[in-house]
Chain A
């Protein structure tokens, strides 16, 4: 059959050459052996793990600060309501997961915040 003879590999290679950026190879450590290899962008850009700090209240979703229930210097108990964050058509209640004193409030009522913004600091 005559269609056996057309070769798509060549077309694909041309496509590849345009997409791949030919970085020099690096080393990847697996079980204490160093392997020479290309490193994927996904791996290089991966988020480095950071343990959660219950004293830092971050926005878990982008949204608008609807109301702030506490003032700096005030003592709060575990489970006390700190703030209402309006996001995805929901009024999300942010509660304290520890007992402590409000050290600093980093946002104002009405502020739009992106994900991961520091909202309140406890001590």
Chain B
């Protein structure tokens, strides 16, 4: 039977290719605490859902004896599958094959699956584990990176793009993850940098370990390049799967709706926020108190903690949350938190996810370092992102909303659809102390007892302006609501914004301050 032979030949070819870099290389990979590329794909996708393409692709390089080397699948696995039934396109670099180095065919496989994902309007997941450019392939390898970056940019805002860093991702290679929507890192496994420790040592004389330079913690806490930090590859995969449930497949769709649930009773919304505006609390508890099952999926949890961003569901629908965090740096806006919030707002807007903003902030962080780091330009990103967003925008002022911070945090003036305030809200140009010292400077200075007079004037200001009613009297706040009514009112507001449709001036693109 001729066909039987042919089938056997195919099976043999497959088996050989499926081994990747061979048993020895696989053992080495495991010794580093890492899974193989294939195991990763299987760990991420629904069982039996993976369809592989380009298994038999091989390189054509001639120089440096490359013609004598066979690199199975050219060091990268591509295909499609599903995650909880959602279609995804995926590529995974195989470190066991020439260190996952990127040559021409390797990059062609990646761009093939990227083109496919864009064409079919499905999310793309890239698993990065590569020593970098395949030096032997010279400029072809650089061309490959360029083609990938171009496609990342083209797909941006059309399909969700997730980057998973499960090994080294160094030099130019880091710019693909940087151009995607979400970056996942794993402790002790992920390493990302432009120039490595050795170059830094030779050129600058500074000694640093790979982990301290560009490990998972560095990118989660300091640089903000990573969005999700995990202690193991398993935990990382759970994070990816969960994220996929929250986001739509492309920019023309809405995220899938799930069965609605009630918040857990242990989150008692009336008891979370202290009356005294200078006292801290965890704003995530407020979010948990109003969302389905109190299940809040935080993004960039370890970076710029003074602002909280993430997804939750209300009535089964995905909502993006942005909230000042009073227990971290008093919840101020600064360079990093502005950057973090603005990007998330733009993400939600690009993918049809309504935004709920919880406001409680004293304003922008003062300081020479902030000014010199460009807090003007970075802070402006928040204004830009909120103003530009056309998805439903709901705002709840929990407590303080002072000065520029009040304007920036999805205020009526940036076209928020609904602005609510709790009875303890203080909507004012600045905190009572600062304001009284300026407005009543003369009275305080000339008083017999300046301290006494200051206290009196601060109280006077508090009584008159530290409340939501001045803003409510102008219609800047639509309603002053009790904390206990918050979920019900927000759900209603979301319902009636279901078909929100507004138009913006026709333009090629805006110029956000980045």
Contacts and interface: CB of A to CB of B under 8 A. Distances in A.
B296 A9 contact: yes
Given A1-B259, A12-B301, A33-B432, A38 B328 contact: yes
Interface stretch (B52-60, B105-113, B238-246): B238-246
Interface string A27-46: 01011111111111011001
B84 interface: yes
A8 B297 contact: yes
A39 B235 contact: no
Nearest to B430: A31
A87 B112 CA distance: 42
Contact of A62 (B205, B295, B305, B434): B205
A18 to B, nearest CB: 8
Contacts of A25: 280, 327
Interface residues of A, number: 38
A62 B437 contact: no
Interface string A1-37: 1011011110110011011000001001011111111
B238 A8 contact: yes
A81 B259 CA distance: 74
A115 B206 CA distance: 10
Interface stretch (B125-133, B359-367, B489-497): B359-367
B362 A40 contact: no
A101 interface: no
Nearest to A40: B329
Contact of A31 (B230, B245, B329, B402): B402
A32 B368 contact: no
B280 A36 contact: yes
A49 B279 CA distance: 29
Contact of B431 (A12, A30, A37, A112): A30
B414 to A, nearest CB: 22
B150 interface: no
Interface string B300-313: 01100110000000
Interface of A: 1, 3-4, 6-9, 11-12, 15-16, 18-19, 25, 28, 30-40, 42-43, 46-47, 49, 61-62, 87-88, 112, 114-115
Given A4-B259, A9-B296, A40-B306, 9 more contacts: A16-B301, A30-B363, A35-B278, A36-B280, A38-B328, A40-B329, A42-B336, A49-B368, A49-B369
